[in-house]
Amino acid sequence: MPIYKYDDKSLQKAAELIKKGELVAFPTETVYGLGADGLNPIAVAKIFEKKNRPSFNPLILHISDKSALKNYVFYEEPVIDKLIDKFWPGPLTLVLPKNEIVPDIVTSGNDTVAIRMPGNEIALKLIELSGCPIAAPSANKFGHLSPTDAEHVEKSLGSDLFILDGGECAVGLESTIIGYRDGIFSILRPGGIPIEEIEKITGVLKKRDKNETSPESPGQLPFHYSPEIPLYIIDKSIMSNNNFLNSLKNRKAGLLLFKESNPEIESILPSYSKKILSETGNMAEAAANLFKFLHDFEKEKVDLILTEPVEPSGLGLAIMDRLKRAAERYKI
């Protein structure tokens, strides 16, 4: 199937496919999702197959109306309603106790489900027209770069998938995921909403211990979001590793910088392509450009990617989370 530009006709076609138990890639404000009817276990199983995603890694359920939330979860904590009123629609996912209507395949057998209301009109219309919540992870092969435009989806998953093209994603990073259990709010994944903004409502968020064999939500595995090209974060261990630095002499590097040039690293790179996430130091712009620029480096066929760290606060925490998980796959 070709990529379908968004219009009323393509939206209707996408909704019909969801109703029939098929897969559709669609835009959200965060990244493109690979969606299926979230109440149809057979349809959801196709997501895991298409992505080569391990079955123990749960999915996010997407809804189009706040009032639909209690069809799929139960809770009594009033702070959750405050979070919803403040951040929905938008890049906030809540992990809450699930109702029986939610299939176990969506939650990987957990008694909780990750759920959100996306802040993208195309996504909301698709969910509404489909008449069901849509289960959707990012529309890419498992562990690889998240897609922020339709071409990224086609490159990763192929042309046999219906891809609804809604342009580039505005946020460009996955949603922030917050868990609630036994009266405690926890951060499960930093993302498109700064944790500091959420803590104004919840108080200090607990850091939940990771469970790599039975995660509660997406984004909790040690390596993820990785380009096909080795990625390294520029730090003291890299800059003092003479063997590694000598290996750069015959290789072209993709150099990812935050807001300005870095003469120290550029002086030792004989061949490189440079990209700056935000020349004004705007974290929202940097976040939106992160996956886009990493995809661009893959297109340029550089031999490796070197990236500056950013200050791990606000959206910088989510940026560093993605970079650290990407680099984990290529540790020296």
Residues 96/113, Cβ–Cβ less than 8 Å: yes
53 carries a ligand binding annotation: yes
273 is in an annotated binding site: no
CA distance 165 to 150: 5
Its sign, for the CA torsion 310, 313, 318, 322, is: positive
- Residue 181 annotated as lining a ligand binding site: no
Q: How far apart are CA 319 and CA 62, in angstroms?
A: 23
Assign 3-class secondary structure to 106-117: HHCCCCEEEEEC
**ω before 190 within 30° of 0 (cis)?**
no
136 assigned binding-site residue:
yes
Q: Is 208 flagged in the annotation as binding?
A: no
User: Residue 182: which region, alpha, beta or left (left: phi > 0; alpha: psi -120 to 50)?
Assistant: left
Check whether 57 is labelled as a binding-site residue.
yes
Separation between Cα atoms, residue 160 and residue 313, nearest integer Å? 40
State yes or no: 286 annotated in a binding site: no
Secondary structure class of 44 (helix, strand, coil): helix
- To the question of whether residue 139 is assigned a binding role by annotation, the answer is no
Annotated binding residue 175 = yes
Number of other residues whose CB lies within 10 A of the CB of residue 314: 18
- Please tell me whether 62 is known to bind a ligand: yes
Residue ranges of the annotated binding site for L-threonine are: 30, 62, 116, 136, 175
Annotated binding site: 30, 53, 57, 62, 112, 116, 136, 138, 146, 175, 189, 225
Binding residues for ATP: 53, 57, 112, 138, 146, 189, 225
